[in-house]
Chains A and B, each alone.
Chain A
Amino acid sequence: MLPDSLTPSDISALLSSVAKQDRAAFAKLYEATAPKLLGVVLRILKERSWADDVIQEAYLKVWQRAGLFDKGKASPITWLVSIARNKAIDELRKHPAGRTTTDDAMDERVARQPTVQDQMEDQQVVNKLNHCIGKLEKERQNMVRLAYLSGWSRDELASQYEQPVNTVKTWLRRALQDIKGCLES
């Protein structure tokens, strides 16, 4: 839900102001990006207050580390989302029981139609990724999305798909290799 007026380069500019301890820029950055980050984190953790804690930690880290953001190496949205997502997954691995259910995640994997407003990524890039994931076997598509979007571990995937953990590992790595190969083609 990036306001129309804010482009990725606007976000990069905000990040460089934040690196100079500009609190107003930080507020703008938060306003523009927090809904996206919260959506991603909430999908992984399922609990609102837990997700709020992670968002807080994520933005404190953004405040501390904005100076390390290098727009030549990452898009600002990817950088921000990754900070929050990494924290969410760290949390989930630390407290695997904290999430009360994994069942609902199965339903969420069905792609919804994104609205114009919340398209933060380059649509061509998104389409290409979807195309590449779509070329995988159906089961592996689901595994990749459950892992990435809902934070499922190898073990959780293994029990869901009734496969040994090592098989799941092999499938995931093959799937990632296929995605990479497809994206590069």
Chain B
Amino acid sequence: MSGIMTEHDDLDMQIAEFVLGTLPAGERKALQARRELDPALDARILQWEEQLIGMTDDVAPVQPSPELFAQIERVLDQRATQLDNTASVVMLRRRVNQWRWSTAVASAAALVLVAVLTFQPASNPDSFVAVFQHDDQQPAFLLTVDLQNRKLNIRPVTAEAQPGKSYQLWIKSDELGPNPRSVGVLGDQMQLDQGALKQYDPALLREATFGISLEPPGGSPTGQPTGPAIHGYLYPAGNDLSRRI
């Protein structure tokens, strides 16, 4: 039997069971994390979701209580006051797609953080982006890039040093080709040379996305992200929020 099942079939059945809901919790989590980085996998999940969705036709709709939407709006209001600039939020969202690497890379890829520079209001020369860990409201790292001076500043928020592992920062931009390029490996104190982005044009930096992977000590041996997948979610943060954190 084992000879008959190809790897492709097996993945297809894993996806199918994920959508059905019976994939065991650990495998389920891993697949969800991979999905965030792998558009091909995401597309296959969407296909299975589309195939099985008809079963919900049997389910009677249930009218939610009026308080529920009011509560959702309250949470949105609270979050809105924490956000710096609504326009940048929208632009950041669009960039999430760019961070989805090619399948080949993504299957081994890992990242904790995505950070994007959009535009800078004159009064605020720094753009902060906090990224939240999967299923968690805490940002893993904050990355600040001063576009004019091409200086970066990275600091961990909830991310902790991992024994025998290094965090590595990557940059990705269409102009640099399909694969991420290493910016540098974070030191023991989770620091990185402020001038690590000097070689890049501000216009490129403005469009680029960034990610962090967990790698063997000293950085990826292959020149591409190889570590385990820990996914983060984009969130922009203004000066107020970064101070608060």
- Hey, which bits of chain A sit against chain B, CB under 8 A? 1, 19-21, 23, 26-27, 30-31, 34-36, 38-40, 42-43, 52, 55-56, 59-60, 63-65, 67-68, 73-75, 77-79, 81-82, 85-86, 89-90, 93-94, 111-112, 114, 118-121, 125-126, 128-130, 133, 144-145, 147-149, 151-154, 157, 169, 172-173, 176-177, 179-180, 183
Contact A65 B61 (CB under 8 A): no
Chain A residues, Cβ within 8 Å of B49: 74, 78-79, 82
The residues in B between 56 and 95 inclusive whose CB is less than 8 angstroms from any CB of A are 56-65, 68-69, 71-73, 75-76, 86, 89-90, 93-94
Contact B61 A67 (CB under 8 A): no
Further pairs besides A90-B135, A112-B58: 18, Cβ < 8 Å: A1-B61, A21-B90, A27-B69, A38-B63, A39-B62, A52-B68, A55-B68, A60-B75, A67-B90, A74-B46, A78-B46, A82-B46, A112-B60, A126-B54, A149-B59, A179-B51, A179-B52, A180-B51
Shortest distance from the beta carbon of A49 to any chain B beta carbon, whole Å: 10
Give the interface segment out of B20-28, B111-119, B180-188. Answer: B20-28
Among A73, A152, A177, the residue within 8 A (CB) of B46 is: A73
Contact A56 B55 (CB under 8 A): no
Between A and B, 24 residue pairs with Cβ closer than 8 Å are: A1-B61, A19-B93, A40-B59, A56-B68, A59-B72, A63-B76, A75-B50, A77-B53, A82-B53, A85-B56, A89-B21, A93-B28, A114-B58, A129-B54, A133-B55, A144-B20, A148-B52, A152-B22, A153-B24, A157-B22, A172-B20, A173-B13, A176-B16, A183-B51
- Hey, which bits of chain B sit against chain A, CB under 8 A? 13, 16-17, 19-22, 24-25, 28, 32, 43, 46, 49-65, 68-69, 71-73, 75-76, 86, 89-90, 93-94, 96-97, 135, 233
Shortest distance from the beta carbon of A124 to any chain B beta carbon, whole Å: 10
- CA of A49 to CA of B17 in the docked complex: distance in angstroms? 27
Chain A residues, Cβ within 8 Å of B64: 34-35, 38, 52, 55
Chain B residues, Cβ within 8 Å of A75: 50, 53
Chain B residues, Cβ within 8 Å of A149: 55-56, 58-59
Chain A residues, Cβ within 8 Å of B63: 1, 35, 38
Contact B43 A42 (CB under 8 A): no
- CA of A59 to CA of B75 in the docked complex: distance in angstroms? 11
Contact A111 B58 (CB under 8 A): yes
Cβ-closest chain B residue relative to A110: B58
Q: A35-B63, A67-B93 are in contact. Are A148 and B43 (CB under 8 A)?
A: no
Cβ-closest chain B residue relative to A56: B72
- CA of A59 to CA of B70 in the docked complex: distance in angstroms? 12
Contact B72 A60 (CB under 8 A): yes
Chain B residues, Cβ within 8 Å of A77: 53
Cβ-closest chain A residue relative to B80: A21
Chain B residues, Cβ within 8 Å of A21: 86, 89-90
Chain A residues, Cβ within 8 Å of B28: 89-90, 93
- CA of A94 to CA of B28 in the docked complex: distance in angstroms? 12
- CA of A94 to CA of B60 in the docked complex: distance in angstroms? 26
Contact B56 A81 (CB under 8 A): yes
Contact A118 B61 (CB under 8 A): yes
Contact B50 A74 (CB under 8 A): yes
Contact A56 B56 (CB under 8 A): no
Contact A30 B69 (CB under 8 A): yes
- CA of A126 to CA of B24 in the docked complex: distance in angstroms? 27
- CA of A105 to CA of B22 in the docked complex: distance in angstroms? 16
- CA of A52 to CA of B65 in the docked complex: distance in angstroms? 9
Chain B residues, Cβ within 8 Å of A148: 20-21, 52, 55
Cβ-closest chain A residue relative to B23: A154
Q: A43-B59, A74-B50, A114-B57 are in contact. Are A34 and B22 (CB under 8 A)?
A: no
Shortest distance from the beta carbon of A126 to any chain B beta carbon, whole Å: 4
- CA of A85 to CA of B109 in the docked complex: distance in angstroms? 27
Chain A residues, Cβ within 8 Å of B90: 19-21, 67
